[in-house]
Amino acid sequence: MKNKKSFNFTFYLLIVPVLLWLVLLIVLPHIDLFISSFQVENDDGKMVFSLGNYIAFFSNQIYWLTFVKTAAYAIGVTILAFLVTFPIAFYLTKVISKKNAGFLILLLLIPLWVGELVTVYGWMVLLGDHGIINHSLMAIGIIDKPINMLYTNFSMIIGLLYMSMLFMVVPVMSTLESLDDSLIEAASDLGASKWTIFRTIIIPYSMPGIVSGAIIVFMLVIGDYLAPNILGGKSSLWFTEQIYNEFLSTFNWNEGAAFGFLLLMLSSGIIWIALKLSGQKLDKVGS
């Protein structure tokens, strides 16, 4: 009996901080976000229920167009991240020895820990009209006028890809690591071409890792603010920038809340579809 009581005590000691964290910092804020997205200030300065914030979103082309563009670009960058990094993940797990891979993996992780701001700034320094790339190309004599790269969609995509692609490499590598080499050897002995092996063994086997990576990459890209803001031009408006403007420039928090809620719906919707299509659970994505 005494033992049972102490069991309960420990349980409450464990659950109370977790509940405080989740209720106060996750659940209630999102409920508040939801509620205030349906409120507008009336002429007396009182908050009243209204669909006005959402109507404003759908009736202003600039808002919903940015929204659609952000989603489309985020999907594009996710696919690009997969294409660029899959050969690298394969190289590090299957082609070179574990010992050599260790050093390269370390190199892979450094930009991640250095943080997005520094690396985005690095691309700004590289891509500018007087940046390192243009300067070097002109010094060699390949071009005689700087190529306009910074403040375009190109530089924005480079920045988005750079900051998110490592989150694709890590989960893909961990699934590839568990792929038994003898499967590939057997297929090869039976005369399968590289392309067949790739298509029928390697890709299906690493699908869980690809899906986890794609979800994280997509979420990071769609919610990113720095790369579109610093590297993107006037034409590369990102939806997070709209939210930022509502909160910190025009101070229309209710409309900003509506935008935030729409972004949340978009990201959870696409993640949900990805999980359903691949039959994965959310906790697999985290690990």
Min. distance of Cβ 66 from another protein in angstroms?
14
Dihedral (C-alpha) 235, 239, 241, 242: value to the nearest 10 degrees?
Answer: 100
7 binds another protein (CB under 8 A): yes
Can you tell me which of 178, 248, 250, 269 binds another protein, judged by CB under 8 A? Answer: 248
**# residues near another protein by CB under 8 A:** 95
Can you tell me which of 75, 124, 147, 207 binds another protein, judged by CB under 8 A? Answer: 124
Min. distance of Cβ 145 from another protein in angstroms?
16
Half-sphere exposure of 137 (CA within 13 A, CB side): 16
89 binds another protein (CB under 8 A): no
101 binds another protein (CB under 8 A): no
| Residues 238, 52: Cα–Cα separation, whole Å | 22
Half-sphere exposure of 164 (CA within 13 A, CB side): 32
Dihedral (C-alpha) 193, 196, 199, 200: value to the nearest 10 degrees?
Answer: -130
Quote the DSSP letter at residue 132. Answer: H
Min. distance of Cβ 218 from another protein in angstroms?
9
| Residues 71, 75: Cα–Cα separation, whole Å | 6
232 with 238: CB under 8 angstroms? yes
State which residue, 14 or 72, has the beta carbon closest to another protein. 14
111 binds another protein (CB under 8 A): yes
CA neighbor of 217 nearest in space, from 122, 75, 89? 75
226 binds another protein (CB under 8 A): yes
Tell me, rounded to whole angstroms, the distance of Cα 137 from its chain centroid. 32
Can you tell me which of 41, 264, 278, 280 binds another protein, judged by CB under 8 A? Answer: 264
* Residues 174 to 203 in contact with another protein, rule: CB under 8 A: 181, 184-185, 188, 194, 197
Cα distances from 69 to residues 36, 62, 78, 260, 269, in angstroms, run 25, 10, 14, 16, 16
Stretch that binds another protein, among 51-59, 61-69, 146-154, 211-219 (CB under 8 A): 211-219
State which residue, 187 or 207, has the beta carbon closest to another protein. 187
Min. distance of Cβ 65 from another protein in angstroms?
19
Stretch that binds another protein, among 52-60, 75-83, 95-103, 148-156 (CB under 8 A): 95-103
131 binds another protein (CB under 8 A): yes
Helix (H, G, I), strand (E, B) or coil at 139: helix
Min. distance of Cβ 109 from another protein in angstroms?
7
State which residue, 64 or 121, has the beta carbon closest to another protein. 121
121 binds another protein (CB under 8 A): yes
Tokens of 147: 């190529």
